[in-house]
Amino acid sequence: MRIGIDLGGTKIEAIALDAQGVARLRRRVPTPQGDYPATVAAIVDLVRGLEASLDARATVGIGTPGAPSRVDGRMKNANSTCLIGQPLQADLEAALGRPVRLANDANCLAVSEATDGAAAGAAVVFGVIVGTGVGGGIVVDGRPLVGANAIAGEWGHNPLADPEPARPCYCGRLGCVETWLSGPGLAADHAQHSGQRRDARQIVDAAAAGDADCERSLQRYEARLARALATVINILDPEVIVLGGGLSQLARLYENVPRLWVPHVFSDTIATRLVPPMHGDSSGVRGAAWLWPQEVRT
């Protein structure tokens, strides 16, 4: 049995998968806002609750915003800032009494979709989170690529060249991809151009209903996403790019963005596919469970 945990900014989701990858049980609780000890306790309670219900001991994988530092194992680069500087993996291992595998949430998305999802069989997969924040993860031959500095795939904190003034990012830099392509980034861009305060979902719905300002905001968003992903293609050249997060549900992205990235990709042909996640919102939590490969037993 494998348990996967998706530690999000607003919710913590848990899933138990059997040896065939079939979901046996899943639960979800709100994320304690800004409270690190309560977050650890919530994860431990979810794991223990699933194991008690299934009468089985499981491996545990955790998908998190950010990643543990290669220097001291403490969390870094998390937009859930209460995690930064905390020994999350060590604290969970101590509380649960077993090894825990931990990976960036975008890596978990990519692992899930490369294992038995929309990118199954692809040698190189880039997983993208576009939601409250923007993240990226790389899977090569079914395994997540972490990197020498534990930042492989962190395209969300590269600068995006844009004719408009750069915006400050929570990381302390200016003009990060995240400031343009996250849900809050889309909302800020729309407010700047239209004077209207709407969240990402409201912008998408209004554009579908014919609102011209919202349609222009989505077109700017698509153009920026295309430029940002073209950089990934030029460096990594993945077979498949899988989108996750709330904005991945926007169907028009899969038609418009590949058309818009053509002028920015350094190739005469582009075989890279942009696809939605087969497992939808469950991709991250399933990928966390798959951090323990099939041959590992509890």
Q: What is the DSSP string of 135-183?
A: EEEEEETTEEE--TTS-TT-GGGSB---SSPP-B-TTS-BSBHHHHHSH
| pLDDT above 80: residue 293 | no
Q: What is the pLDDT of residues 242-261, one digit of tens each?
A: 999 889 999 999 999 999 99
Contact 233, 193 (CB under 8 A): no
- Between residues 251 and 10, which one has the greater pLDDT? 251
- pLDDT score at 294: 55
Q: How high is the pLDDT of residue 65?
A: 85
SS3 of the chain: helix, strand, coil, percent, to 5: 40, 20, 40
Return mean pLDDT, the chain.
93
- Among the CATH numbers 3.30.420.40, 3.40.640.10, 2.40.50.140, 3.30.470.10, which is that of 2-108+281-289? 3.30.420.40
Position of tokens 């969390």?
A: 75
Burial class of residue 281 in the structure, from the number of CB atoms within 10 Å of its CB (0-12 exposed, 13-18 middle, 19+ buried): middle
Cα separation, 132 vs 116, whole angstroms: 26
Q: What does the block give as tokens for 244? A: 């996750």
Q: Check if the beta carbon of residue 3 is closer than 8 Å to that of residue 51.
A: yes
Question: How many C-alpha atoms does 219 have within 13 Å on its Cβ side?
Answer: 8
3-state SS assignment for residue 222: helix
pLDDT tens digit string along 35-52? 999 999 999 999 999 999
pLDDT band, residue 132 (cuts 50/70/90): confident
pTM: 0.86
Where are the chain's structural domains? Answer: 2-108+281-289, 120-276
The encoded tokens of residue 197 equal 């305060």
Closest CA to 241 of 45, 87, 110: 110
**pLDDT 10s digits, 73-110:** 999 988 788 999 999 999 999 999 999 999 888 999 99
Domains 2-108+281-289 and 120-276 share a fold: yes
Is a pLDDT exceeding 60 seen at residue 295?
A: no
CATH number of this structure's domain 120-276, picked from the four choices 3.40.50.2300, 3.40.50.920, 3.30.420.40, 3.40.50.10470: 3.30.420.40
Q: Judge whether residue 10 has pLDDT over 70.
A: yes
Query: What is the rounded CA–CA span in Å between residue 14 and residue 37?
Result: 18
What are the tokens at 282? Answer: 């469950």
Per-residue confidence band for 292, with pLDDT thresholds at 50, 70 and 90:
confident
pLDDT surpassing 50 at residue 296: no
Contacts 24+ apart (CB under 8 A), 95-99: 95/40, 95/44, 96/44, 96/47, 96/60, 98/59, 98/60
Please report the pLDDT score of residue 199 as a whole number.
Answer: 96
Higher local confidence (pLDDT), 173 or 295: 173
Mean pLDDT of 155-159: 94
pLDDT value for 66? 83
> Which residues, listed in sequence order, are joined to residue 26 by a DSSP beta bridge?
15
